[in-house]
């Protein structure tokens, strides 16, 4: 169950929200990460699902590969889900060393700055 990766009830709630947004985002076009960054910067009133959708739709470009999100209710976690949960958890704890580490180790160098900019808005998810 969750591959010995322990998540809190808040993280489980976030995971289900991420999976739902990712399922909806599959039928939407991908978003260029630089454009996503602009959207987030310009519209500070974005609601959590919109913000999460923009971020998830820009991740394939930032990762340089397709993302993998499992269906709601699945007891396992994909690597991408673990990464995203870890990122949002670090942001909610204001653990910016972990945020920088997670972004630097996964995101392509050219996309690190815009990805970090978008990610730092994800605190709204946990507020």
pLDDT tens-digit series, residues 64-121? 999 999 999 888 999 999 999 999 889 888 899 999 999 999 999 999 998 888 888 7
User: How far is the C-alpha of 102 from the C-alpha of 62, rounded, in Å?
Assistant: 12
User: How far is the C-alpha of 25 from the C-alpha of 58, rounded, in Å?
Assistant: 10
8 Å CB contact between 89 and 13: no
Residue spans of alpha helices (H) in 26-66? 33-42, 48-63
pLDDT band at 25 (very low <50, low <70, confident <90, very high): confident
User: How far is the C-alpha of 106 from the C-alpha of 98, rounded, in Å?
Assistant: 12
Q: Which of 28-32, 55-59, 118-122 has the lowest mean pLDDT?
A: 118-122
Number of domains the chain contains: 1
Spacing of C-alpha 80 from chain mean position: 8
pLDDT: is 20 or 45 the higher one? Answer: 20
Task: Give the pLDDT score at 46.
Answer: 61
Q: Which two structure tokens, joined as six digits, stand for 102?
A: 């997670």
Q: What is the mean pLDDT of the chain?
A: 85
Task: Give the pLDDT score at 72.
Answer: 92
* Domain that includes residue 89, residue range: 2-126
Task: Give the pLDDT score at 30.
Answer: 84
Spacing of C-alpha 62 from chain mean position: 11
Task: Give the pLDDT score at 1.
Answer: 44
pTM: 0.84
User: How far is the C-alpha of 7 from the C-alpha of 30, rounded, in Å?
Assistant: 28
């Amino acid at each position: 169950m969750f591959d010995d990766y322990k998540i809190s009830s808040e993280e489980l709630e976030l995971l289900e929200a991420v999976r739902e947004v990712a399922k909806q985002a599959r039928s939407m076009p991908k978003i260029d990460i630089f454009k996503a960054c602009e959207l987030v910067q310009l519209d500070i009133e974005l609601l959590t699902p919109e913000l999460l959708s923009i971020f998830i739709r820009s991740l394939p470009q930032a990762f340089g590969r397709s993302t993998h999100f499992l269906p709601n209710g699945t007891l396992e976690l994909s690597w991408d889900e673990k990464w995203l949960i870890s990122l949002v958890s670090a942001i909610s704890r204001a653990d910016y060393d972990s945020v920088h580490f997670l972004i630097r180790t996964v995101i392509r160098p050219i996309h690190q700055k815009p990805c970090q900019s978008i990610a730092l808005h994800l605190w709204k998810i946990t507020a």
